[in-house]
Amino acid sequence: MKIVVLDRNTIGFDIAMEPIERLGECEIYDDTEQSEIAEAIWDAEVCVTNKKVLGERELKDAKKLKLICLFATGFNNVDTDYCRKRGIRVRNLKNYCTESVCQHTFALLFSLIESIGYYDDFVKSGRYSESGTANHLGRPFFEIAGKRWGIVGMGNIGRAVAKAAEAFGAKVFYASVSGAEREEKWERVSLERLARESDIISIHSPLNEKTENLIDKSFFEKMKASAVLINVGRGAVVVSEDLAEAVEKGIIWGAASDVYKKEPLDKDDALLRIKTPERLILTPHIAWGSTEARKRCVEETAQNIAAFIAGKERNDVW
């Protein structure tokens, strides 16, 4: 079975592809230009990708293609309707990065509310040594204990964050964007109430027609001026121009984001132009990418392929 990996660079070159390579003839590209995908997969039976867009234009000449595997949970970059017509199976990953994203959520929060970068620079720059005082409290920070933490998207990652937030003494509640009725130990509230009452809001929802541009100017205007927003879900869930305005004008205290509507960010993106950068922490879509999570990513993808070869269902999108 011929397996083509289109964007190995998205997993990191420190992670071995051996679990996949054992399964067949492998052609692994560090990266593939969008215009080169059709040629790269024309004789493949399995295509593996993370971020590449796979639509009819890319897939129509791949007559042998039987399976698309994603190095990811999200699959909005694949035209699943076309794949159904062609009989091409699509498989994704589940729960491989829960711990990593949960941990990064708190890393972003601590960096933001405790001004870690500022205080680190204060010491390393020599200003602390010159200050003549044992303490420097140039920027205030607050405790998580006793705060209300609102979660948008109570899936596996949302639940992990909720448990960790409670361990720090926060009171957790959540809003369900999907509208699904599920038994949770935390109180479910409306999105409007979550905006109004939360001290900390973290976003863990997928991107779909219900969540695109969900967090916009009207949402920020309902938030407390002392509140912070953390987005580790999908970039397009938040209107970035509205977020930049909310931070810069002090409508909210601050924000942190690991995801963006367009990745990588354009150099003139509103988030890169705000005049209060100390109240905005940005990371380049790495929340999912701990070493352990990336190893699981490859291993789980290999298991998806092996199950397909054996005629078994596993993590089928359809």
pLDDT of the chain along its 318 residues, tens only? Answer: 999 999 999 999 999 999 999 999 999 999 999 999 999 999 999 999 999 999 999 999 999 999 999 999 989 899 999 999 999 999 999 999 999 999 999 999 999 999 999 999 999 999 999 999 999 999 999 999 999 999 999 999 999 999 999 999 999 999 998 877 788 999 999 999 999 999 999 999 988 899 999 999 999 999 999 999 999 999 999 999 999 999 999 999 999 999 999 999 999 999 999 999 999 999 999 999 999 999 999 999 999 999 999 999 999 999
Percent of the chain with pLDDT over 70: 100
Contacts of 312 (CB under 8 A, 6+ apart): none
16 by DSSP, 3-state: which?
coil
For 166, residues 6+ apart whose C-beta sits below 8 A from its C-beta are: 172
pTM given for the model: 0.93
Which amino acid is it at 9?
N
Stretch (H or E) spanning 113: helix 98-113
Q: Just list the catalytic residues.
A: 234, 263, 285
Distances (CA, A) of 316 to 63, 90, 196, 292, 304: 21, 6, 38, 23, 9
Of the candidates 93, 54, 53, 88, the residue with the CA atom closest to the CA atom of residue 70: 93
Quick check: helix, strand or coil at residue 211? coil
Residue 317's alpha-carbon distances to 5, 97, 299, in angstroms, are 19, 18, 18
Which residues, in sequence order, are CB contacts of 48 under 8 Å at separation 6+? 3, 4, 5, 6, 20, 68, 69, 70, 71, 301, 305
Give the single-character DSSP code of 145: T
Cis peptide bond prior to 277, omega within 30° of 0: no
Identify whether the C-beta of residue 139 lies closer than 8 Å to the C-beta of residue 118: yes
Residue 78 · residue 318 · CB < 8 Å: no
CB-CB contact of 242 with 216 (8 Å): yes
